[in-house]
Chain A
């Protein structure tokens, strides 16, 4: 702890430090010599393509993939063509650019994913050099070919090749070049001897870096910063020019006094820092050059690889990996010797406090007197986030926590989140995981991406624990991990469908947002249809499930899933599909097993395809519905004989359905139709289509009593209804004599009150009166009232000693019936006494 500044090296105003990240886990026989190396930024994986040490033509180079800590992930002999360049995509896929211009893409575990070509003409001219770069559009590739032409692809996931214009006077490859991304445009900056050119889509422009001394010589190496903002140019006289990448401003020019071209040159700069610097590497020397004319020099023993990061440079050798970075300002404040910054005092206070020394109080007072305690805590927290060593982190955080106790209104959020994030960072920095992320990088790449990357590496367990620990909503966190896990699981060829399905189901369960159909689609892609079906069984969203089942030609299953979902539109979709796919017989059989689908299809047919409907009923021996179908059809028919024959079919079907009533009723209907037709023909009665009742009514109105009588008997019309009919008909035609005769024909089944009421309706009181004597005693009062004979009604009511009837009569009496009222009241009273 005391020596925390021991590895700090001053450069101008700033300090630089080298922190050891890992002792590499790998054992490389030849170190990094003679290998093509690609290490991804943000603590990404490392790929090595090592030439075989037995230099025989038959031997193949070995492609090896390691984590950043050197843990072997994959290794396989390279069987394809010669590789010019390796590189990593933003989603941790390995790109291998071959001499013939084809690019092979492998995943982290060395399995081949796909390939594409950088253009046909390249096959001839060959790739001389290639660069993999990252831009807001994704991962891109740039190549320069043997015919000195550049080709760009800005996003390999949406491949659009752009061949850049010719560079005047360029033979072979340029002495050095970089890819720049400016103003949403990707350009190439290249130097050819003393000339410097910018190549964009349409033109090649000669440029000159401002302020580059004329005697500096020609540019032999160049490097662009992580953010594409700064550019460094190295000349053959050892001059290093730095400036903005748009070549508008110059930062500095330093004479390194080295005339050999550095093997690598990388920007080393942290965001917001005022001190950009460039790291140059030669065979045995590492030099940090700043804006000021100072340099720091580190000797190196082993061939190394530099990896530019957002806030520093990683140095990978065959034994160690180190991080070289500018010491963050807040760390300087706290740890600089004799620093009086509030954070430094707080750290000291806490140290004394732990020693139970009263000096703790003195330090605290000193901070508080300046009212800087809040700032002190903030400094300690921030410094902790930049420290790589866990014990330093701890002591800073403890100090912060200690200082916090003396503050009343301190918002603890930053403290808590920093603690949490550090815990996560420490976990992923573990050598076994091997992601040496700084806090700044972590914030830049976001937690989402960190989880994705853990998932690519198949650290599912750790990813899930992080999700739980940071309390990320399931559908953003755990679910995504599970989804990836499951998609990976289904590809395990050594496991049976059954056990995979079970494993997936147990782990994924009902996790929100995990789409089983997505997993199933993966399984189907791998040719495991059975597994896909098993997985689809867990899918809750039928809308996703059904189309995939149809695609896999599991139409029956698709149908039952659609039915289960209750989404009738989906059912119709499957049904329509089946109808086109299957022959009619099979189609009907399939529907038969799915009553819901069948009834929906019937509805469809009812509206659209009547004939199919008949076939459907036939197939199902549904005689009842078939009969109904014929009945409906008969009404659409104009010609009577066709209509009758359809009705006959209906009768047959009703009989088969053992619906005697309906059969009989339909026979009656046919009988009635024939009768109507006959009479229409004979008398022009216009009966066809009328109901039986209406027919009789019409006949009576026409005076065809005999024919009406015939229907009444033939169709066994109940007496009551017939009597009503005849009564009304006669009254309407005012055939009063006929009516009286009819009333005497036999005892009226509808009583005689009906006669009175009908007569009264026709305003014939005289006729009505004739029937009063015939009504039953119970209806006497009503009968008298109907003809407005209050006296008679009163007599009858009093005779029957019926209180409510007397009441009914009373309610009809008006003042002029004084006597009657009194009589009724007396009778009521008498009745009440008894």
Chain B
């Protein structure tokens, strides 16, 4: 079921299994039939750990969504609340419990806090007078969730907002805890590098926690050689740019959530012969996207312009494979062919799905609007006219294009110009407020607070220096047969990944100047390994680095890292971890404030 997690350099299935074991243990603690009441936010992340079948095996008979009022009736012995430790949820639970008691008195209540129990919440339950009603109050430590063979995500949506806007470092605490769990399973990571305030904070907490656990020395041979912690605000530019890999575009256009995407159904109508497509399906088509699907693993990280060729090549291989049946003469050959049939059929349906998706995407990428938008982005990234009001943005506002698109572009211009001239900034802001409403002043304030928008200060624009030193723009990006990570944005090489690349070779010392221009400290820490655990490296054996993006990472950045892992001479393999998979749209959205207007 989760075999794809174990194919990678690091067997992430161990982590998943550990998480499943803990879940089973908790469920068995509540003997008898159960109903789970879900904090809706958790269902997605939990889906990556355990399907309903696992819950069912442990006598979970009903599932409800947590909402105020009375709990639905169910003939079960136990009611278990799976919740994040949030005060507002405690109030709902209290109401549920309060209203329940009068009807049935025989049902037992339990709470499972994810990812950690909280004194504050328990206090609240106590104030509400229901704390005593719970038989079990437990925590389910789910920090890092295995998302794919080389990818871990905390699925912590608000991490960036909390860290940089609200100065709430809860997510960093969970990050550090998650990394400790990871080290408990995969060995102490001997080297830690980092860049940014949050990275520093996480590293400090890790070292501190290591002291707390002191004594139980970890005797596991380290799987990871290096941990690199990167603050998202070190590279604000990359998520703003439109991703141009296949997976990146699916996410940009349709949004991938907890590994699933919902697509418009028209293209996926089952075409049966003789039956005209009378009734088109109206439900969106839901597809799971991960490396378990062979074809998807092959094309997900390609530049979209190279996907067409890959799909047609695959089509030829598959039809050639089906043609084989004509060559199968002997019984043995036929048997061989038949045994491969299920696999081939799966490949064919996978091909059909992705051809449909590619068509959907192509309609958009070939549109003029997409092209114009991309042109402006690339102009900004190459530093063309970043210091004046951009006509395209102006026109887009006049056309009332979606606000998030405007914000992405304006922020991008600001980042590429190291801030906008006060006049230009005020102009944009006025345009936005007048067109989209004055309530967005709060959002604009937020964007300024996190540094995505800022007035130019006297210091000169250092973006060109950064761009040149780190070779962020490559004129001759090869989309079909890439030789550099810049292919993921058709020219722009993501800053975050360049930093990772340089760290591996030749090392950050070569770019001290640039590192100083980027926000936050950069640092290196070493963790002592017990004697006997120092790896004796085989010749030609790759090193493994865990890159942790604090505040989110895009699919294109992941693609770039996978590209680096596959490069023959890189000598480095990357495993990626993040608080949340993001794109420019979801990211900006998380920073927006929308006061709910009471005006009728």
Contacts and interface: CB of A to CB of B under 8 A. Distances in A.
Interface in B161-175: 166-170, 172-173
Interface stretch (B22-30, B63-71, B426-434): B426-434
Contact of B430 (A632, A634, A665, A672): A665
Interface string A475-497: 10001000000000000000000
Given A576-B123, A665-B441, A693 B212 contact: no
B435 to A, nearest CB: 4
Given A567-B173, A569-B118, A688-B599, A596 B167 contact: yes
Contacts of B400: 693
B599 A689 contact: yes
A640 B441 CA distance: 19
A459 interface: no
Given A631-B442, A635-B598, A665-B430, A569 B215 contact: no
Given A631-B595, A638-B598, A724-B399, A541 B426 contact: no
Interface in A725-741: 725
A67 to B, nearest CB: 32
Contacts of B208: 540, 565-566
Given A512-B214, A662-B445, A692 B168 contact: no
Interface in A683-720: 688-694, 715, 717-718, 720
Contacts of A567: 173
B439 interface: yes
A669 interface: yes
Interface residues of A, number: 60
Nearest to B599: A689
A658 to B, nearest CB: 13
B536 interface: no
Interface in A442-457: none
B430 to A, nearest CB: 7
A760 to B, nearest CB: 14
Nearest to B435: A693
Contacts of B441: 631, 662, 665-666
A672 B217 CA distance: 67
Interface stretch (A245-253, A262-270, A414-422, A600-608): A600-608
Contact of A636 (B87, B119, B205, B595): B595
A572 B119 contact: yes
Given A631-B441, A636-B595, A721 B435 contact: yes
Given A573-B119, A665-B429, A566 B173 contact: yes
Contacts of B168: 568, 599-600, 603
Given A599-B166, A661-B429, A635 B394 contact: no
A624 B445 CA distance: 9
Given A665-B429, A666-B441, A725 B398 contact: yes
B23 to A, nearest CB: 22
Given A569-B118, A631-B441, A666-B441, A636 B598 contact: yes
B436 to A, nearest CB: 6
B437 A569 contact: no
Contact of A632 (B167, B205, B442, B599): B442
B201 interface: yes
A649 to B, nearest CB: 15
Contacts of B205: 565-566
Nearest to B121: A569
B167 A595 contact: yes
A724 B87 CA distance: 48
Contacts of A604: 87
A689 B597 contact: yes
A569 B438 contact: no
Interface string A583-612: 000000000000110011011100110000
A568 B170 contact: yes
A2 to B, nearest CB: 48
Given A569-B116, A720-B398, A541 B212 contact: yes
Contacts of A572: 118-120
Nearest to A540: B211
**Contact-residue size bin, chain B (C-beta under 8 Å from the other chain):** 35 or more
B596 interface: yes
A636 B596 contact: yes
Which residue of A572, A632, A638 has the most chain B CB atoms within 10 A of its CB atom? Answer: A572
B87 A608 contact: yes
A628 interface: yes
Contacts of A715: 434
Interface in A541-583: 541, 565-570, 572-573, 576
B531 to A, nearest CB: 13
Contacts of B120: 569, 572-573, 576
Which residue of A569, A603, A668 has the most chain B CB atoms within 10 A of its CB atom? Answer: A569
Nearest to B211: A540
Nearest to B397: A721
Interface in B189-225: 201, 204-205, 208, 211-212, 214-217
Interface in A510-546: 510-513, 540-541
Interface string B28-51: 000000000000000000000000
25 contacts: A473-B215, A511-B215, A540-B212, A541-B212, A565-B208, A568-B173, A569-B85, A569-B116, A570-B119, A576-B120, A595-B167, A602-B166, A604-B87, A631-B441, A631-B595, A632-B442, A635-B596, A638-B598, A668-B434, A668-B438, A691-B433, A692-B434, A692-B435, A693-B435, A693-B436
Q: Which 8 A-B pairs have the closest CB atoms?
A: A512-B215, A475-B215, A635-B595, A599-B167, A512-B214, A669-B438, A691-B437, A513-B215
Given A596-B169, A666-B438, A721-B398, 16 more contacts: A473-B215, A512-B217, A541-B212, A566-B172, A566-B173, A596-B167, A600-B167, A632-B595, A636-B596, A637-B598, A638-B599, A662-B445, A668-B433, A669-B433, A720-B395, A750-B395
